Structure 1
């Protein structure tokens, strides 16, 4: 079942995303997420948070790096172009409502749902130097679900590797609505509404409901919805909503199912051609000094088959070419490709325009960051204001959740 957002999104729908404060942000963060965040803030009600609790799932033995990185990361966000007047910027741990919803959701979330998240085993394999056999690490996709659901976000911008987390969030919301979104006479009301469909349509509807519940097939959902829409002449609005909820296996929508928002982003590799990551030591920080940028790019490996200046190369084998794909215009790319494949230019010649382009992109970030570095209280105030705006929304959601669960004694 597809959960991707449509091409044209409703105006001012809520978007939520976050980043873990585990060190300086690099160019991969900017091109993979931040650049998109800046664009989305002009179109939607955006909530962006510092995921410090999530950082503890892998850095619980060294929380000092988190403390050092929280406000520094916010400065990187502001330097990249996030506007606190347009986007709500806040810190996850300042809102205990996240932890409360996480706890309440944990009571009814099957263990198998968490164990099957693809990134769970993948991260354990990749981070063998860390002891990740903890409840916190196993449960972090559910905490992530709570982060999303507490703000009733419509869209979550993610890469393909994180789409499974949004799907888990949808399942968690659906299960919660099924368990707690029902009134005491829910079954009787469903039976009464189904009686208006007639025996054949009721039988067909139940067949599609069962198929959707077992397989999640979009076709079954569409067929079931078609039966309900066809019966609009005999069903009132409440009965229609009731049967549509019953079809999806839910009651009243206490928690909103979000959609994964897949957008085109430039994939910038690390200096070695692999994924850019602090743990791999192959990054260029967003606010790296220009001379350091030139040194790092000058040391980048190139086509391994181009041993001598006179050897012809193949851009497809060269990490530097991947930087050209992101940073160079067509004329520069043509020059670099032709020079490489004919040995007309050396590798250092090829790297020079890349370094110039990176430094040019970073210049306004460094300038904007200086303003905030000189006035840290301004950064703290921005976060305080964003946290209070987020708190208003989170508290209302928790009020709805407690009421649905019967916890408002």
Structure 2
């Protein structure tokens, strides 16, 4: 395993889905054997769009579910450090220092922020959401992350991190690596409704933890070609989410090509294509379900992993913050004041 570090993670808003898998988790599974890997449970990021009391009260349960999903997907717990973002207050200190290294117009050019605000039903951009990429930079650089596997939505955020790292190093000396972005092979997976990316909040997702019957029900209700009223009517494959999923998850490329030919010619019905997709997805999810069941049976293991990982990460972040403050000269400012105060106190005691 390389000594280089990887940082990745998710917001604890519920169980992970197939969109998460193709967007970043597949990369994590592949890469975590090569890098020292930190997995953030980004509950502070969650607050930018979901900050009600009920949302916050659900963090612990959602964190457990999220970590279990990642482990079930194939991440080895012995090679991963899971940590809860809000339990490391030093990340907030680093975020504060980084805020001065990026401008508001630069952040306003990050396209996904407006999408996040819109999807969460916010008419105006909260200050915390505008600063989302800055906090993300603090997350990545606090452990000196060098590799960041991300989906399409977060690519622009990581570019802000790269800019902040370069800016800091230019001003104060070489402290941070400039992290490398590793995109997924399938940047975005359309939702089952065919209208947007797969999202828990939009109700168009197939979860990694869904049972076979649930997967089949969701697949059978998927959006297809609205102009195709009968099986003998030629259908459109392009933009059809059923075939988009076949392209990603069905390993039998010849069979997928055959289904597409028959669909375009009006010689196969939506039911048959969907039935085959449901079977394909369940075959893909079966080993994930089996691993999830094993981790769920070992009660308390996931909690222990989070606690141990958080304590270890906090120790690393504290070291980074000391280095940052020293490079910026902040450490010496209070030291100078304190020394003068100490001399003043001694003079006052002598005079008395």
CA separation in 1, counterparts of 2:88 and 2:135?
A: 13
Structure 1: stretches of 5+ with no match in the other structure? 1-9, 182-251
Q: Could you tell me which residue of structure 2 aligns to residue 174 of structure 1?
A: 166
Give 1:73's aligned residue: 66
1:115 corresponding residue in structure 2: 108
Asked if 1:124 corresponds to 2:47, the answer is no
Larger Rg: 1
Contact 1:31–1:265, Cα closer than 8 Å, also in 2: yes
Q: For residue 185 of structure 2, what is the aligned residue in structure 1?
A: 264
Which ranges of structure 2 fall in alignment gaps of 5 or more residues? 336-352
TM-score, normalising length: structure 2: 0.86
The counterpart of 1:296, out of the listed 208, 212, 218, is 218
Contact 1:75 1:369 in 2 (8 A): yes
Residue deviations 1:353-374 (CA, integer Å, cap 9, x gap): 1101111111122222122223
Output the CA distance in 1 between the equivalents of 2:107 and 2:233.
Answer: 51
Please tell me whether the aligned partners of residues 55 and 66 of structure 1 are also in contact (alpha carbons under 8 angstroms).
no
Specify the alignment match of 1:228 in structure 2.
none
TM-score by length of 1: 0.75
Q: Say if 2:279 is the partner of 1:356.
A: yes
Partner in structure 2 of residue 276 of structure 1: 198
Equivalent position of 2:94 in the other structure: 101
Q: Are 1:335 and 2:234 counterparts?
A: no
Contact 2:212 2:282 in 1 (8 A): yes
Q: CA RMSD in A?
A: 2.1
Provide the residue aligned with 2:142 in structure 1.
150
Change (3 A) 1:338 1:35: same
Pick from 302, 324, 343 the counterpart of residue 246 of structure 2.
Answer: 324
Q: Is the 8 A contact 2:199 2:205 kept in 1?
A: yes
**Structure-2 separation of matches of 1:105 and 1:341:** 53
**Match of 1:216?**
none
1:146, CA displacement in angstroms? 0.5
What number of residue pairs does the alignment pair up? 328
Q: Return the offset for 1:131.
A: 5.7
1:38 aligns with 2:2: no
SS in 2 for 1:350: helix
Q: Please name the residue that 1:196 is paired with.
A: none
Of the structure 1 ranges 264-273 and 84-93, higher mean CA displacement relative to structure 2 is found in: 264-273
- Give yes or no for contact 2:43–2:86 (8 Å, CA) kept in 1: yes
SS in 1 for 2:48: helix
Distance across 2 between alignment mates of 1:173 and 1:293: 43
Q: CA deviation at 1:177?
A: 2.8
In structure 1, what is the Cα distance between the partners aligned to 2:125 and 2:228? 44
Looking at structure 1, the residues matched to 77 and 124 of structure 2 have their Cα atoms a distance apart, in angstroms, of: 35
Residue equivalent to 1:162:
154
Hey, what's the Cα distance between the residues in 1 that align with 2:203 and 2:278? 18
Distance 2:226 2:139 in 1: 45
Residues 36 and 265 of structure 1 are in contact (CA less than 8 Å); yes or no, is this contact kept in structure 2? no
Q: Could you say what secondary structure the match of 1:280 adopts?
A: coil
Task: Please tell me whether the aligned partners of residues 10 and 40 of structure 2 are also in contact (alpha carbons under 8 angstroms).
Answer: yes
Q: Secondary structure at the match of 2:9?
A: strand
Distance 1:178 1:327, change over 3 A: closer
Q: Secondary structure of 1:58's match?
A: coil
Whether 1:25 aligns to 2:10 is: no
Q: Which moved more, 1:333-342 or 1:89-98?
A: 333-342
Contact 2:188 2:197 in 1 (8 A): no
Q: Find the counterpart in structure 1 of residue 313 from structure 2.
A: 390
